[in-house]
């Protein structure tokens, strides 16, 4: 399962998209992790939330950053 954190310049409220092969959380520039938790709690496992938090805040976690238009896409390195 691929987990993706997307920061969108125009996102007003965090959005969770959960498909069979990808979990994507889209947030705006000013959002914090508590707001992300409000959206994903009950929908994701603790392990998935932990992975999302590492994408969000762990500078030692190997991540890929890709800017596409108004979005910064953060994924873990394979």
Q: Looking at the 3D structure of the chain, how many domains does it have?
A: 1
pLDDT in tens, 59-71: 999 999 999 999 9
Could you tell me the residue range of the domain that residue 67 belongs to?
Answer: 2-76
Report CA-CA distances (Å) from 8 to 20, 28, 77.
23, 5, 21
pLDDT of 1 > 90? The answer is: no
29: three-class secondary structure by DSSP: coil
Mean pLDDT within 5-33: 95
Considering the chain, what is the average pLDDT of its residues? 95
pTM (2 d.p.): 0.92
């Amino acid at each position: 399962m691929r987990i993706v954190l997307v920061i969108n310049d125009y996102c007003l409220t965090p959005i969770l998209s959960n498909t069979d092969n990808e979990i994507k959380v889209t947030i705006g520039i000013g959002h914090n992790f508590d707001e992300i938790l409000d959206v994903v709690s009950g929908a994701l496992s603790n392990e998935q939330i932990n992975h999302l938090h590492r994408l969000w805040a762990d500078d030692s976690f190997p991540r890929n950053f890709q800017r596409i238009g108004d979005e910064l896409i953060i994924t873990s390195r394979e």
